[in-house]
Amino acid sequence: MGDSTIQPTDPSTGRRGLAATLRSLLSAVKKWKTWRADTWVALVSAVVAVAALLWQGHVSSRERIADERQQLVALTTQIAEQIAKEQTVADTALSSALVAKLTVEGQAGVVLLDDLDDNGVAGYEYIEVARALEISGDKADAIEYYERALHAQPQNAVTRAIALRYRGLLYYDVGRFVDAHQDMMGAAGVFSEHLLETPYYIANSVARAYVMDAYYQLQPPLKSCSTAWDDMDRAVRALGSQQADSTVKWYTDHANELWWSMCWGSGKRLLKHHLPSGL
């Protein structure tokens, strides 16, 4: 029999993981002293749920890893569903109660991911933990976990495109504009040799990267009309005959508003005149 890749684990691992999570949470919530009562109730409820999630007891290493994988799937699915339920459009502000829950869940995800150490972890699981961290204000760690999503095995074009887009948006948020633009262009190029998805999905995935980049290129301090123009031209060509999805439409509409206010005198046609009627 060959050597096992599963290492012996102290049965107190779950307790240590929970302790680490709670220490991180105590540090994180110091900046939210003005939370309302219902927000604190949500936070306490989330802590209790995460405590139950991470409490491992005396189980074998193999059982523990299998259990942690299941917990991670459940946790990341919950994170994605909660965000999707409240954030119906790109600029929707999340409630303080949800931010409180995501603070707890993001830290719980960190404990699980670090304990699993890439053992059977899918890229989308890194992405959802990174999103929770980003929303809770832990942007440096969010960038790290988006990066880990890009290296998770097996490589997946869909996951890679999503990770690059989210990291690109975060880079724009923290002022790393060159890195942000590179990530968006990278996300647009992911599907150049991957045709397993539907034409509609591929067209909109590529267009999303371009219209998101255009929108942020038009924001201060960049105000780059020429880059935004090129982005939108590529978005139109990427869509071809496919109908734009709601995200592409949202960023297109808001890029048009910015273009009208800043770039109409640049000697080029209005950006909205450059878009197909389907948008």
Q: What is the mean pLDDT of residues 12-35?
A: 52
High-pLDDT (> 70) share of the chain, %: 72
pLDDT band at 14 (very low <50, low <70, confident <90, very high): very low
Q: What is the mean pLDDT of residues 133-160?
A: 94
pLDDT band at 89 (very low <50, low <70, confident <90, very high): confident
* pLDDT computed for residue 16 by the predictor: 47
What one-character-per-residue DSSP string does 198-261 give?
A: -HHHHHHHHHHHHHHHHHHHTSTTT--HHHHHHHHHHHHHHHTTSPP-HHHHHHHHHHHHHHHH
* pLDDT computed for residue 52 by the predictor: 56
Q: What is the mean pLDDT of residues 114-119?
A: 88
Q: Which amino acid is at 35?
A: W
Best-predicted range by mean pLDDT (19-33, 132-146, 261-275)? 132-146
Lowest mean pLDDT among 11-20, 141-150, 215-224: 11-20
- Look at residue 56 and tell me whether its pLDDT is greater than 70: no
Return mean pLDDT, the chain: 80
Q: Would you say the pTM of this structure is higher than 0.85?
A: no
Q: How far is CA 263 from CA 193, 210, 211, 225, in A?
A: 35, 18, 16, 6
**Which of the two residues, 149 and 56, has the higher pLDDT score?**
149
* pLDDT computed for residue 27 by the predictor: 57
Q: What is the mean pLDDT of residues 230-237?
A: 93
Q: What is the mean pLDDT of residues 7-26?
A: 47
Q: Which amino acid is at 59?
A: V
* pLDDT computed for residue 151 by the predictor: 94
Lookup: tokens for 48: 């209790």
pLDDT band at 8 (very low <50, low <70, confident <90, very high): very low
- Look at residue 219 and tell me whether its pLDDT is greater than 80: yes
* pLDDT computed for residue 178 by the predictor: 97
- Look at residue 126 and tell me whether its pLDDT is greater than 60: yes
**Which of the two residues, 230 and 22, has the higher pLDDT score?**
230
